[in-house]
Structure 1
Amino acid sequence: MQLIAAAEPVPAHHPAGTLHGFLALTTEQGQVLAVGDLIQIVRGNRVTAHLSFHFKDGSLDDETTVYTQRGVFRLVSDHHIQRGPYFPHPIDTMIDVAKGTVVTHSLGKDGKDEVSTDRVKMPADLYNGLVPAVIENVSPDAGETKVSMIVATPKPRLVTLDIMPQAPQTFYLAGVARKSSVYEIKLELGGIAGVIAPIIGKQPPNIFIEILGGELPAFLRETGPLFEDGAPLNITQIGPTWSETAHDHSNK
């Protein structure tokens, strides 16, 4: 496995708090594919964030991330599940930083569950499942920020996320214009895979995350695919309505 030099962990200038957020997963045309919940619980300096998207076709994208924020962000564990018709290659991956292991469940040729355990060197800046929280703590004036992430390809592989601030974008709250801070995330494969990926057309697409900066930064939107070769989707915050069709664009 190609190892990439790790950067320093990101300082926790704005520690995460307890929350329950409501999210929508939509296509670029505005069709709602799934509704999500982000439930975040803080006990001392340890945060447990559970993000789940329930799709209209019955698919599930579910991730539970545990991390600490004592001065800097450090990942403790991350369990990510994707299954159902929307996902061509289901995943069930558990990262345990203290043990240095990645446990992966996959469907074997005989239809039975196959479990593999790989030992991986876990860098201090490993941020599976908490990239939005990290970005809320990156200044738009900071320039390039690099952190690490483990992806299953299908074996666990350590890659680098290159985070770069972009030009601010305009969004609206009740018709009033405001500016968001935009960050572009490029996945650097490294090694021979990183050299040949652009040639064979397998370089992963970039992801964009928008936040509202200031004294208490807030997540606004994420744009990018959920898996390799997946279509770009938008993750946005939503609020409750008392009309079933108020935010339902599924028939458009």
Structure 2
Amino acid sequence: MAAAAEPVPTRHPEGTLHGFLAVTTEEGKVLANGDLVEIVRGDRVNTHLTFHFKDGSLDDETTVYTQRGVFRLISDRHIQKGPYFPHPLDMTIDAAKGIVVTRSSGKDGKDEVVTEQIKMPSDLYNGLVMPVVKNVSPDAGETKVSMIVATPKPRLVTLSIQPQAPETFYLAGVPRKAAVYEIKIELGGIAGVIAPVVGKKPPNISLSIEPGEVPVVLRESGPLFEGGAVLNISLIGPTWSNVSRDQPAK
């Protein structure tokens, strides 16, 4: 049964952490390295997710939210710029005020700033997809939440989160089971009807999670922007060699 969009209960509160990530193609080529830093003060969480691409591109998102009982977004700023991104993004969301600010470079090289008022639902989860999905039970049916996307004008869309069949992953050669969730972006309205016809329907996103007392996101598969290639974002550990995973040792 489909669930109505509403705030997701906090079953597994986020804690202070620093994680290391890699962005790779489906063939395993490394495009970027990243850092996920979370700082918790009381019930407020500040998250900073950055990806530095080999071509100099940057994907940088800072999210602030609370997790007392349910997850609630306070603010989110997402920046994408550089050769990898055909359409630079700089969007700031103030959930309390219901304001979205987008910045872009005008024809004269000066920044153009557009401020829009949007009625924001209580389940708005920009920058919160990973912690929210970790709190969705594998036994749940469909869970729906909201997100604002720049297309290029900001618009509200629905994310449909559905558990899938578990998959096997390995730690030091030992098999374990990961819970898998598929996230479908529902555009809604006339855009949702037209998009599949013109080939612009967003591809689904997949999240693999190691469940348990402290769930861990192992991998996210999907594009970083509309029309982008499907990439894998996964946890990595430090090495004592500068040979990346997609390069043969000499």
2:164 corresponds in structure 1 to 166
1:109 corresponds in structure 2 to 107
Q: Shift of the alpha carbon at 1:25?
A: 0.3
CA pair 250-125 structure 1, distance change in 2 beyond 3 A: farther
TM-score by length of 1: 0.96
Q: Deviations over 1:25-62 (max 9, x none)?
A: 00011110000000000000000000000011110000
TM-score by length of 2: 0.96
CA contact (8 A) 2:22 2:32 kept: yes
Q: Shift of the alpha carbon at 1:248?
A: 3.2
CA contact (8 A) 1:51 1:64 kept: yes
Correspondent of 2:70 among 69, 72, 84? 72
Matched, 1:89 2:75: no
2:25 corresponds in structure 1 to 27
CA contact (8 A) 1:47 1:67 kept: yes
Matched, 1:143 2:122: no
SS of the residue 2:194 aligns to? helix
CA contact (8 A) 1:6 1:148 kept: no
SS of the residue 2:12 aligns to? coil
CA contact (8 A) 1:132 1:219 kept: yes
CA contact (8 A) 2:4 2:143 kept: no
CA pair 106-183 structure 1, distance change in 2 beyond 3 A: same
* Alignment of structure 1 residues 1-252 onto 2, 5 Å: 7-245=5-243, 247-250=244-247
> What CA distance in whole angstroms lies between the structure 2 residues aligned with 1:27 and 1:111?
33
CA contact (8 A) 1:21 1:38 kept: yes
Q: Shift of the alpha carbon at 1:111?
A: 2.4
SS of the residue 1:235 aligns to? strand
User: % of aligned pairs identical?
Assistant: 74
SS of the residue 1:231 aligns to? coil
CA contact (8 A) 1:80 1:93 kept: yes
How many corresponding residue pairs? 247
CA pair 250-84 structure 1, distance change in 2 beyond 3 A: farther
Structure 1: tracts of 5 or more residues without a match: none
Q: CA RMSD in A?
A: 1.4
